[in-house]
Chains A and B, each alone.
Chain A
Amino acid sequence: MSKDLFEIGGLKLDSRLFTGTGKYADDSVIPGICEASGSQVITVALRRVDMESTTGNVMDFIPKNMQLLPNTSGARTADEAVRIARLARAMGCGDWIKIEVISDNKYLLPDGYETARATEILVKEGFIVLPYVNADLYVARSLVDAGAAAVMPLGAPIGTNRGLQTREMLRILIDEITIPVIVDAGIGKPSEACEAMEMGADACLVNTAIATASDPVMMARAFGRAVKAGREAYLAGPGATQCHAAASSPLTDFLSGD
């Protein structure tokens, strides 16, 4: 079998696990996370520098071979997302951008309309756009039309670790959407990442579940393996599940008289 590479944004990746840099108790664990998970893509956010604080620079901990995926967190509108994306690109770390537009701070659910608008603008400016969205077929289709490099539907609201609450909708997106589907947000356990991959998702993005584990490095390794296992199961084609139908009156008996 030829090597199963994940093609996205002009790259061919071995790993289908994207990871993040948020919520770590100590950023110095990040290199260990990257190594243990096998991940090749890592997210970062963009913020005002706090002139009074002397905290370290997260960039010092991200291995140089990682593809950086800046997000537009903090953006409440398409225009703000576009502004953040342009600033992120000016940092000189490539054209990838994860669009995240959220104006509802209670549930942190993404705004599909603003996200689609921002995607359209940024694709025209040459960005590799990965929008974070609800598992909504219409929004996903508009993102495909806008030229997104992937869609990143949520499994459950950000940071909730509640698993694939949107399972049925994800299934539909995986079936219908022609660009990569990367399940982002909500994945709390390796088994859930594995399930998403078994269903045919192209990749998973996991941050909170790794960052907040008692042993983040061990959890990163577990996620790396789970994503791989799920992908292989998907490629292998799962066996049949038996359906037990009650044999009332046969439906095809009329054919036996032939």
Chain B
Amino acid sequence: MSFYPICAEYSGAPLTEIFAAATESDVRRALGKTLLGPEDFLALMSPAALPLLEEIARKASRLTEQNFGRTIQLFTPLYLSNYCTNHCVYCGFNAKNKIPRTQLTLKQLEEEAKAIASTGLKHLLILTGESRIKASPDYLDSCMGVLRKYFPSVSIEIYAMEQDEYARLVDAGVDGLTIYQETYDEELYAELHPRGPKRDFRYRLDAPERGCKAGMRVVNIGALLGLGDWHKDALITALHAAYLQDRYPEVDISVSLPRMRPHVGEFQPTSIVEDRDMVQVMLALRLFLPRLGITVSTRENAEFRENILPLGVTKMSAGVSTAVGGHSQDGDQVGQFDISDERGVEEMCEVLRKHGYQPVFKDWESITEPAKGAA
């Protein structure tokens, strides 16, 4: 099974015409339903939905509270390594970029882990560039040996893997997989990934499904909005999430909505996703998939992140550094991208409480003993 046929079908959809044909009553109909189909999602994404945005926001807000309460789960990324063999033209870690390359030793990792754990965070997202030689499955397995002492929940955002490799990491204590398709436009994808293993569109497209099969508890997907036609990417992201939710009801599926940020390297966003666009996508996603996790990173600025709290977001990063060793090492490391919200964990928590939201560090506990010597 693969999401590919659905992806291919919708890549060719004449969105401009579909959006032009959408009417206010299409939007109202979508608003009135409890179970929405792709056609409703399209109506909610169309210009016809803009005059009704406030009404849509109210429903999205109600659904989010119903399903998640007034809570925001906090996590932070930890960059293990920035060695990379890919040439993704939009990425700061692009193999061509002349930046210092480094990878944490287990001793350095322990320092990073301690520094992050001291902020109270329990959810960690570990990241590497795409280098199977440097950041090998063995290396990641050893890293988990260190990290599980400090974090009950660790997600990975690394190169696409085989199902048994994911399963091995699940055994080592990984419980979440984050992997972005970047863009669902196969042609554009080929242009943006001129060299490197990531060039294989389908292998990456099926990676979230392999993660589900391998026993990941949370699978987080997304497209880097702004790379291509963001309307189309948001639509196919939503369909991809629905596909996974339908087939793997035991897995929590969530979606990230990263917007392109300035970074080292020549490629800059081709289409701009305005705040209003971003809000519209988020609301449409919430109505379409009420149980969907929605992650918003520190790519977004503090004010925007506060404004969207009631609109559907369920997870946020805080206390972020996108550089290898950024939490504990001295020096001017180069990050993968620039962040906009530089607030620390404590400050974030205070802001959330001020808005009537509970910051959540940890919301589940495995009742089976994790495989190897856990915390």
Q: B-contacting residues of A (Cβ < 8 Å)?
A: 171, 175-176, 237-243, 245, 247, 250-252, 254-255, 258
In the bound complex, do residue A245 and residue B34 qualify as a contact, i.e. CB atoms below 8 Å apart?
no
Which of A239, A247, A251, A255 makes the CB contact (< 8 A) with B61?
Answer: A251
B20-35: which have CB < 8 Å to A?
A: 25, 28-35
Complex Cα distance, B35 from A175, in Å, reads: 8
Given A250-B54, A252-B53, A258-B275, also A240-B28 (CB < 8 A): yes
In the bound complex, do residue A251 and residue B29 qualify as a contact, i.e. CB atoms below 8 Å apart?
no
Interface string of B277-303 (1 = CB under 8 A from A): 001000000000000000000000001
Q: Is the interface of B mostly helix, strand, loop or mixed?
A: helix
Q: Which residues of A contact B55 (CB under 8 A)?
A: 243, 245
Q: A-contacting residues of B (Cβ < 8 Å)?
A: 25, 28-35, 53-55, 57-59, 61-62, 246, 249, 274-276, 279, 303, 307, 310-311
In the bound complex, do residue A239 and residue B29 qualify as a contact, i.e. CB atoms below 8 Å apart?
yes
In the bound complex, do residue A252 and residue B32 qualify as a contact, i.e. CB atoms below 8 Å apart?
no
Q: Is the interface of A mostly helix, strand, loop or mixed?
A: loop
Complex Cα distance, B33 from A252, in Å, reads: 22
Complex Cα distance, B62 from A135, in Å, reads: 27
Please indicate which of the listed interface residues A171, A176, A243, A258 has the most CB atoms of chain B within 10 Å of its own CB: A243
Nearest CB of A to B138, in Å: 37
Given A171-B34, A251-B57, A254-B307, also A240-B279 (CB < 8 A): no
Complex Cα distance, B309 from A251, in Å, reads: 10
Q: Which residues of B contact A175 (CB under 8 A)?
A: 35
The 8 closest A-B pairs by CB, nearest first: A240-B32, A240-B28, A251-B57, A245-B58, A241-B32, A254-B307, A240-B29, A255-B276
Q: Which residues of B contact A258 (CB under 8 A)?
A: 274-276
Which of B29, B57, B62, B276 makes the CB contact (< 8 A) with A237?
Answer: B29
Given A251-B61, A255-B276, also A243-B53 (CB < 8 A): no
Q: Which residues of B contact A252 (CB under 8 A)?
A: 53-54, 57, 279
Nearest CB of A to B246, in Å: 7
Given A171-B34, A240-B30, 6 other A-B residues pairs in contact with their CB atoms under 8 A? A238-B32, A239-B28, A240-B32, A242-B28, A245-B59, A245-B62
**What are 15 contact pairs spanning A and B, CB under 8 A?**
A171-B34, A171-B35, A238-B29, A239-B28, A240-B25, A241-B32, A243-B55, A243-B58, A245-B62, A250-B54, A251-B57, A251-B311, A254-B275, A255-B53, A258-B276
Q: Which residues of A contact B310 (CB under 8 A)?
A: 251
In the bound complex, do residue B276 and residue A239 qualify as a contact, i.e. CB atoms below 8 Å apart?
no
In the bound complex, do residue B54 and residue A251 qualify as a contact, i.e. CB atoms below 8 Å apart?
yes
**Nearest-neighbor residue (CB-CB) of B307 within chain A:** A254
